[in-house]
A and B are shown apart, each in its own frame.
Chain A
Amino acid sequence: MDMKRSYYEDIELFKSGVILFWTIVFLLVLFTFPLYMSDYALYLLNLIMVYVIVSVGLNILVGSTGQISLGHAGFFAIGAYATVLLMTNLQIPFFIAIIAAAFIAAFFGFILGLPALRLEGPYLTIATLAFGLAIMHVIGHTEFFGGRQGLMAPPLDLGIPQLGWSFVLSSETSKYYLVLIITILMVLFAINILKTKAGRAFVAIRDSDIAAEVIGINLTMYKTLSFAVSAFYAGIGGGLFAFVLGFFDPFTFNLILSIIFIVMIVVGGLGSVMGSITGAALITYLMYDLFKNVNEAPYVGPLFVAFSERWMTITGMDNFNYIALGLVMIGIMLFEPLGMFGAWIRIKKYWKTWPF
């Protein structure tokens, strides 16, 4: 074990030189991706990072505070719509718009947090589920929000067009760098939040709300704060998502998306930032890429297609996609109930004590 010389070392971002080294290597790899990756791969990475932001935020709520939300697609939608509408209708610059949108989402998170003071477990889940569905339908039935047709994202201008200073990102590569930097920032914020007063209070509420109360934690404040923070993350994610997709309609933000968010953090590991990142990356990849080309797989591909067309529907492949996703999820839960982060902890422990 390393010798510690000051109390600060306990809360340092990079606890050892090894971690710092690997973080730098990882970041270098991320920053050089566009040099040799196709546009499609970058688009996929952008999606992954957007989902990373959302699941890091959702994990603060579900993993750390222990409050389940099946309505996060709602906050995600609020983020996307508010960013785009603020930019197109009020000509607000991108950065201000996305932050404002995230605060709007956070406000809705606060509102949704209020019933959480009275509701627990399945009852809270239903309340959040209703919220997610309601947001989708309100947006879908309001002309102002583009109705069922959806909205087109404006050009991604980082400058302030009113001052004649504009800096439009149009290529997939430039978007990639923007999303990457925001994702890194949001992840660092989450790590810090969980290490300081508020983060500890969240964990306290999860483990024992009675004890949390008698040591002076205001349940009302911290439960709603957790919802607000989590919604803020979803809002930022939504704002970026709008530009990654370029075009979106209300039904992009359906119930399945909310469930997928939950799946990401459960597969990755509840209550861990690294778990949210790996979970979001894995599930997004599985959903969008891996099983899309299953029919081209050697030998088994045509078999799968035949099976799918015979026993499921004619459009078969989408079904197969979800079945495979389900199987992976069941597999991970069966063999590693703590998610991928749990597996990582076990491997680390094994090597620490190796060869015993």
Chain B
Amino acid sequence: MGYFSVENLSISFGGIKAVDNISFSVEKNEIFSIIGPNGSGKTTIFNLISGIYKPDDGAVIMEGENLVGKTPDRIAKKGIARTFQNIELFANATVMDNLMLGRHIHMNTGIFTGAFMFGKRSPAAREEVEHREKVEKIIDFLELQSVRDQFVGSLAYGKRKLVEVGRALALEPKVMLLDEPSAGMNTEEKDDLTIWIKDIREDYQMTILLIEHDMNMIMGISDRVFAMQQGKKITLGPPQEVQKHPEVIKAYLGEEGIS
């Protein structure tokens, strides 16, 4: 049993087994990628881990504690942050506010303390400034300075993906789930993102679960790759091995695939 593990996870939607008896275990500080064709249940696994769906069976265990049955906000407080495939940002708030929302679980200002934020020395203002400093570091790190005060809804797709990564980072999680972070980015942005993901792992000592379709990126940064199809595991191993696995090639390219 590793640092973070998923055991016999299963869920079905009206007779279709979206995730079928999946188990894997992730070491601390590892980049663990999940690949598979569309509809193979990758995002469903993330939804199960972050508590959006309740599994029919199985367990999600982090640091020896089972997270199944907890609400998403409790799971976030345990130290799991995620991004979404189709971007779930707060479109009518600025980039800054979106990232500040990532600090939500670390802030203590209640509604009354907040209402009395008069002057620089009020407790609410002091806490606010303290967390703004932390968020500013993330803005620097992801090079978002130019869009800092813009509304998220008006940003380009690639930038929005990045803001989402930044928001997850602001939670200071132990485990980060990235759902296709490079989708919709151009090559240059993808290269930057690859470097940043590596940096996040090194600088923040984070464990990263990654769903990705870009094979170059997977090969470049993953420690291990988990391949799945139709809710079932195909194989698990180092990226080069998984890439050559005949079942994986079949799943991606069809029966007559060339390797």
Contacts and interface: CB of A to CB of B under 8 A. Distances in A.
B141 interface: no
Contacts of B100: 200
Q: Which of B52, B117, B128 has the most CB of A within 10 A?
A: B117
Contact of A207 (B50, B90, B96, B168): B90
Contacts of B104: 197, 200-201, 204, 215-217
Given A7-B129, A213-B73, A196 B124 contact: yes
A214 B93 contact: no
A225 B111 contact: yes
Contacts of A203: 90, 92-93, 97
B118 A214 contact: no
A13 to B, nearest CB: 7
Contacts of B9: none
Contact of B105 (A13, A190, A215, A219): A215
B88 A192 contact: no
Interface string B178-215: 00000000000000000000000000000000000000
A314 interface: no
Nearest to A270: B92
B110 interface: yes
A225 B112 CA distance: 12
A346 to B, nearest CB: 15
B3 interface: no
A13 B89 CA distance: 26
Interface residues of A, number: 36
Contacts of A190: 115
Interface in A186-222: 188-190, 192-193, 195-201, 203-204, 206-208, 210-219
A210 B92 CA distance: 15
A318 interface: no
Interface in B124-148: 124-125, 128-129, 132-133, 136
B84 to A, nearest CB: 7
The interface centre, meaning the residue of A10, A195, A197, A211 with most chain B CB atoms within 10 A of its CB, is A197
Interface residues of B, number: 47
B97 A8 contact: no
B102 interface: yes
B107 interface: yes
A58 interface: no
Contacts of B125: 8, 11
A11 B91 CA distance: 20
Contact of B171 (A189, A192, A215): A215
B42 interface: no
Contacts of B234: none
A6 B116 CA distance: 20
A34 B149 CA distance: 41
A215 B76 contact: yes
Interface string A158-196: 000000000000000000000000000000111011011
B216 interface: no
25 contacts: A7-B129, A188-B118, A192-B115, A193-B111, A196-B114, A200-B93, A200-B97, A206-B92, A207-B93, A208-B89, A208-B90, A211-B84, A211-B90, A213-B51, A213-B71, A214-B50, A214-B75, A214-B76, A215-B76, A215-B101, A215-B102, A215-B171, A216-B77, A218-B73, A229-B111
